[in-house]
A and B are shown apart, each in its own frame.
Chain A
Amino acid sequence: MTRYIIRRLLSAIPLVLGIATIVFFAVNLAPGDPTLYFLSPGMTQDVIEQMRINFGLDQPVHVRYLRWLGAMLTGDFGHSISHSRPVLEVLVDFLPNTLILSACALFVAFLFGIIIGTIQAVRQYSIMDSAMSVVLLFFYSMPSFWLALMLILTLSLFARNVWDLPIWFPASGIVSVDYDFLTFGEKVRDRVMHLVLPTLSLALVLTAGIARYMRGSMLEVIRQDYVRTAKAKGLSEAVVVFKHALRNALIPVITLVGLYIPVLFSGTIFIETIFAWPGMGRTIYDAIFIRDYPLVMAGTFFFASMVVVANLIADVLYAVIDPRIRYE
């Protein structure tokens, strides 16, 4: 297993490098450069040139590429231009926030998706089956930023100001401003409250796909002989479905973990902007436009690595769930 993982990681290197290279040239060949952002009237071309030298932009693009590559291989991602800090520090600030959000969204999406898909399969062609499909597809069909705004308006603004509900969710941020003064229990609650809306916005979109996949997979599994065997053993339907059928039906669904990670990261760009979530999606988005080359490169590099890792996790999960699979 360990050897397999190492081999997989090694074989992913060209993939990650390929992505990084494409992005490097796309960003660097685009018109404009970071100095434009610091311009103001009275700044002469000399000042601009001085800035370019300060940023190391006076070199031709291929030299910069090789330099970046060389530095990156030694773990040096350079200095972020817009954050005035080493890129790695910027990543350390933002990446965890995005990972928490993505992990929660992935967890919620899979939880909902698996449960709903299973119910749909067990009750195939019932009204509940169609109704759930339509409701999930409804969320899936919404542009995610619009869904996010709707959630803010309903679960936050209207819930508090119009409907006077006892619970309403904060519309932005990771924690309240008085977070530092809360007790431990209140801190946990505060974090969860802030997570609810962004997590839902990200997760609802994915749930439809997972449920759809799960339904198909489950439909195949519940026709298998071993499910009948399980029933003949006198197990309750819940045990039959959620123990015997579910674990088998999950096997193909696991692929989605790897497949959805890039989708999720794309989604964070909207969600982090709307919910003022200080994460990587928003940071990369800003960095692209400020042409903060080192940050864009490092960000995409980590996104790509994350996808590789997610696919690897999916493969390992296969082996965990399905004893027939052994990696040598």
Chain B
Amino acid sequence: MSDGFLVARRRWRVVSAALPGLPQLLTGRWGTGWTVLLTWLGCLWVLTARYERVIGALGGAWDQSLALVTLVVSLIVAWTWSWRDVSGSDRPLGIGVSQWDLAARAFSKNHTAVAGLIVIIALYLVALLTPLLAPYDPAFQGNLITERYVGLSTVHPLGTDNYARDVLSRLLYGARISLAIGFVAVSISVTIGTLLGAVAGFMGGIVDGLIMRFVDIVISFPRLVLLITIIGLFGSSIFMIVAVLGLTLWPGTARIVRGEVLSLREREFIQAATVLGYSKRRIILRHLIPNALGPVIVAATLGIGNTIVLEAGLSFLGLGVQPPTPSWGTMVAVGRDDLLGAWWLSTFPGLAIVFTVLAFNLVGDGLRDALDPRLRT
């Protein structure tokens, strides 16, 4: 290694200490660069601009504490990651790279997907930091006569709604609900789908037949009709929505996993495991599922986006998350009535949904391309 290289590295360390992410950004790794740099600057901004609230959050409600932890952890992670990245030795390329390394490299070349990933990371950070970020209490109603339907202004950057509540604050709090709904519902469905799919694919025979017939039933049914029937007639609490969304989304995953497992089952290492006399449970959990994970991750990423859109759809029918809890879907659905008079009510949450779902889809597409060797060039 040349001296020049070492000098450069030392200089990068200095830059990294002040502005983590900048070295990566300047050396062309803009994806990681932006993520780290924005996290760092954003968290610093919160720390200074919302100093009082940060102090107030000490020993506050659980979401405040969580926000505080998130803040500190993000700062530490951003800084140390950049430092170690700059000082660490370059790993030689091309030797001993795993399938995942290859995928990561393919993914990082896909610019739109990386942009999507940055948006998602930012979204989750914002969602976690919301109690520190939001300018107002999302449920606080201002003066109903004078502060209703106020357009964009410095006091209310995204205006106020029909109850004179701050749209920006509601948007921020809505992010928590929408992202959480997507995440939890998809977790439920992926777990169920993966297990059932793996069992069906591995066991075959009657078990497979039964599971797959059930999958057929659920999949060939207009999902929304089922959702309306259940949520509409039995009540629409947030738990109900998450549960029902989760419990109706899994068949897709089950089909994917079953397909993967069927092809994996014929492969040598699984047959070796069978020959070695491992239990079926062990083979399914330790060997089959991890190897079928790629497509599942893709499906899950796309599923989160779909779920957020679906929740918005339910809100349109009046079956979404119930007020005053803000969710993006509810905000769009309620605000659509004022599209002509107060466009900001539904436009901003609508755009939030679009960009979030778009980000998840870009990442999902990127992952699919990256994980599928056939599509790589």
Contact = CB atoms under 8 A, between A and B. Distances in A.
Q: Do chains A and B touch in the complex (CB under 8 A)?
A: yes
Interface of A: 14-15, 18-19, 22-23, 26-27, 30-32, 124-125, 130, 133-134, 137-138, 140-146, 149, 153, 157, 208, 212, 216, 219-220, 259, 262-263, 265-267, 269-270, 284-285, 288-289, 296, 300, 303-304, 307-308, 311
A137 B361 contact: yes
A26 B229 contact: yes
B332 A19 contact: no
A284 B329 CA distance: 23
Interface of A is mostly: helix
A109 B305 CA distance: 20
B225 A284 contact: yes
A250 to B, nearest CB: 18
A150 to B, nearest CB: 8
A265 B226 CA distance: 12
B276 interface: no
Contacts, number: 136
Interface in B328-376: 329, 332-333, 336, 339-340, 346, 350, 353-358, 361-362, 365, 368, 372, 374-375
Given A23-B226, A138-B354, A216-B368, 18 more contacts: A26-B229, A30-B233, A32-B233, A140-B361, A141-B305, A141-B354, A142-B309, A143-B332, A145-B313, A220-B374, A262-B223, A265-B222, A265-B225, A266-B224, A285-B228, A296-B229, A300-B221, A304-B221
A64 B224 CA distance: 25
A138 to B, nearest CB: 6
A144 B313 contact: yes
17 contacts: A14-B213, A27-B229, A32-B233, A134-B112, A137-B358, A137-B361, A141-B355, A141-B357, A144-B313, A146-B312, A146-B353, A149-B336, A219-B375, A263-B223, A284-B225, A288-B229, A303-B222
A146 B336 contact: yes
Interface in B97-127: 111-112
A284 B224 CA distance: 11
Contacts of A125: 377
A15 B219 CA distance: 11
Interface of B: 111-112, 213, 216-217, 219-226, 228-230, 232-234, 305, 309, 312-313, 316-317, 329, 332-333, 336, 339-340, 346, 350, 353-358, 361-362, 365, 368, 372, 374-375, 377
A144 B340 CA distance: 18
A142 B350 contact: yes
Contact of B358 (A23, A134, A285, A288): A134
Given A140-B361, A141-B353, A146-B350, A285 B317 contact: yes
A208 to B, nearest CB: 8
A133 B111 CA distance: 12
Kindly list the 3 A-B residue pairs having the minimum CB-CB distance in the complex, ordered from nearest.
A30-B233, A266-B224, A141-B357
B232 A143 contact: no
Contacts of B374: 220
A124 B369 CA distance: 12
Interface of B is mostly: helix
B225 A266 contact: yes
Contacts of B317: 269-270, 285
Contacts of B233: 26-27, 30-32, 288
Nearest to B346: A146
A125 B106 CA distance: 13
A143 B229 contact: no
Contacts of A19: 217, 220-221
B217 A22 contact: yes
